[in-house]
């Protein structure tokens, strides 16, 4: 993780060890049709738990083909400024297009295959999130959840428009997480606008500036996130809140995503699309994949 040190882009009112960032993420480019900034728990630390990885990406071409997942949930949040359709298929029998603003949660369990690619002429702007699960749930039967944008409640006033893609905020509930409790919000702020989210005890929070610059006020800290940066808050307590504002130096509008999840606090090993508790389990799940035990995509 890297921290922004330019005083013009980062403000702090005090210091709190529970606040990690701002983080720039690691730049990734694959071929001519995929670019991303990747944020990983191994770099940011416990404040990112239960998130293992978040890629903030733009995809215009088929990049990954059919690929496996196991021991985690792979969550696709298609941001509303995406253009076109994102064709999603998996070994659970799902075959549909994700549209701008949609969320798809693939709980891979003991193993599933996944394939997603932009339809011709599409430009997909999104977050790909790997969510950890407690060890006792790693080998469950795979399952999935699709949440369409039109089914997400909206928190809206003259300052903000925020969709509750999952979980709850400000007394408004969206879809229930298929795993441990989690809230996923994405929204837009207008000039001088702000949005406040109350934190839940024992949960960690990850905030990301998807477009434009935002100021994030939490735990006596006031951090400025430039477009593409994130911040993580470790072990929130009841009565605390986080406020996201349009940066004073920003254009009239800014967009952000906020993920608020229950920490698992268990060691894990990640190897590509697999997350297990040990290298022995990683090798065993690799063997299961090689033997064709993850099913197929027709």
pLDDT band at residue 220 using 50, 70 and 90 as cut-offs: confident
Number of structural domains, the chain?
1
Domain that includes residue 65, residue range: 19-290
- pLDDT for 191 equals 80
Q: What's the rounded Cα separation, in Å, for the pair 179 and 91?
A: 19
CB atoms within 10 A of CB 86: 22
What's the whole-number average pLDDT of the chain? 91
- pLDDT for 14 equals 39
Q: What's the rounded Cα separation, in Å, for the pair 4 and 231?
A: 11
- pLDDT for 6 equals 32
- pLDDT for 251 equals 64
In a domain, 7, yes or no: no
Tens of pLDDT, residue by residue over 124-150, are: 999 999 999 999 999 999 999 999 999
| Sequence-separated (6 or more) residues with CB below 8 Å from residue 168 | 174, 183
Given a cut of 70, whether residue 246 has pLDDT beyond it is yes
In a domain, 11, yes or no: no
38 bridge partner residues:
26, 55
In a domain, 133, yes or no: yes
230 bridge partner residues:
23, 208
Given a cut of 60, whether residue 37 has pLDDT beyond it is yes
Q: What is the pTM of this model?
A: 0.92
In a domain, 97, yes or no: yes
272-275 long-range CB contacts below 8 Å, 24 or more apart? 273/67, 273/68, 273/69, 273/70, 273/72, 273/74, 273/130, 274/68, 274/69, 274/70, 274/71, 274/72, 275/52, 275/70, 275/71, 275/72, 275/130, 275/132, 275/133, 275/138
Given a cut of 70, whether residue 46 has pLDDT beyond it is yes
In a domain, 13, yes or no: no
Q: What's the rounded Cα separation, in Å, for the pair 7 and 249?
A: 13
CATH number at residue 168: 2.60.120.10
In a domain, 121, yes or no: yes
In b/e form, how buried is each residue of 231-248, taking b as 16+ CB within 10 angstroms?
bbbbbbeeeeebebbbbe
In a domain, 124, yes or no: yes
- pLDDT for 3 equals 32
Report residue 286: phi and psi, to 5°: -60, -40
In a domain, 275, yes or no: yes
């Amino acid at each position: 993780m890297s921290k922004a040190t330019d005083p013009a882009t980062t403000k702090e009112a005090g210091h709190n060890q529970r606040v990690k960032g701002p983080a720039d993420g690691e730049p990734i480019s694959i071929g001519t049709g995929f670019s991303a900034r990747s944020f990983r728990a191994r770099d940011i630390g416990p404040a990112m738990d239960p998130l293992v990885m978040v890629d903030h990406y733009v995809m215009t071409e088929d990049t990954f083909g059919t690929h496996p997942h196991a021991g985690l949930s792979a969550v696709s949040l298609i941001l509303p400024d995406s253009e076109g359709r994102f064709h999603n298929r998996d070994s659970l029998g799902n075959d549909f297009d994700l549209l701008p603003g949609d969320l798809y949660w693939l709980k891979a369990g003991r193993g599933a295959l996944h394939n997603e690619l932009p339809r011709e002429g599409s430009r997909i702007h999104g977050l790909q999130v790997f969510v950890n699960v407690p060890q006792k749930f790693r080998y469950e039967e795979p399952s999935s959840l699709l949440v369409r944008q039109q089914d997400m409640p909206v928190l809206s006033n003259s300052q903000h428009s925020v969709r509750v893609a999952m979980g709850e905020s400000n007394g408004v509930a969206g879809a229930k997480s298929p795993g441990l409790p989690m809230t996923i919000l994405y929204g837009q702020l207008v000039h001088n606008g702000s949005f406040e989210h109350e934190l839940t005890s024992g949960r960690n929070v990850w905030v990301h500036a998807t477009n434009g610059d935002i100021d994030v006020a939490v735990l006596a800290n006031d951090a400025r996130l430039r477009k593409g940066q994130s911040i993580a808050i470790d072990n929130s307590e009841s009565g605390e809140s986080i406020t996201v504002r349009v940066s004073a130096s920003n254009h009239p509008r800014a967009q952000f995503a906020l993920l608020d999840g229950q920490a698992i606090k268990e060691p894990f090993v990640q190897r590509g699309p697999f997350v297990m508790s040990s290298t022995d389990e990683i090798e065993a799940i690799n063997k299961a994949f090689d033997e064709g035990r993850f099913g197929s995509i027709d």
